[in-house]
Amino acid sequence: MKKTNLIAMGLCACIAFTATSLLAQEKPAQKPAPEAEGGGHSHFTKIPATVELIWKEIQKQQGKLASVVAKKDLGEAHDHAFAIRDLVKALPAKVPAENKAKTEEAAKEITKLAADIDKSGAAGAQKATEANVKKMDAAIAALQASLKTK
């Protein structure tokens, strides 16, 4: 074989090896699983199109959160707390401009409370989780009153 053929073959092998190892390192894109009724840990929340529908979904998730905490099923509490967080975080983009700042501030507070519910629930701390749920309910009620939404 000629020297140029050997160099060309070596170069091709090097390129093929590099491309294969780069492709092997890439992770496939993961799509979030839709929120399953009755559980799952996807933390994917479908955001309704209107403010009114978002509030209805928040209230639905509050009911589910209260239910799982009352049943002492603290492992499921974070699913509903994070769904509420996601729904509230979607509100600033949908409310009138004059309400945007206060909605963003409330979303920050509710995000912290969702994390607190997750931590206390994971620790199995029933009373702390109940207290955090009450704080979240109060924060949501305050936001709703400030927006004058029913």
Comparison of pLDDT for 120 and 12, the residue scoring more: 120
Question: Domains of the chain: which residue ranges?
Answer: 51-147
7-48 tens-digit pLDDT: 767 766 667 666 555 555 544 444 443 433 334 445 678 999
Res. 5: pLDDT tops 90 = no
Res. 126: pLDDT tops 80 = yes
From residue 30, alpha-carbon distances to 23, 33, 101 in Å are 16, 9, 33
pTM equals 0.70
User: Do the Cβ atoms of 103 and 143 come closer than 8 Å?
Assistant: yes
CATH of domain 51-147: 1.20.120
Distance CA 69, CA 74 (A): 6
Per DSSP, the three-state class of 36 is strand
Place 150 in a pLDDT band, splitting at 50, 70 and 90: very low
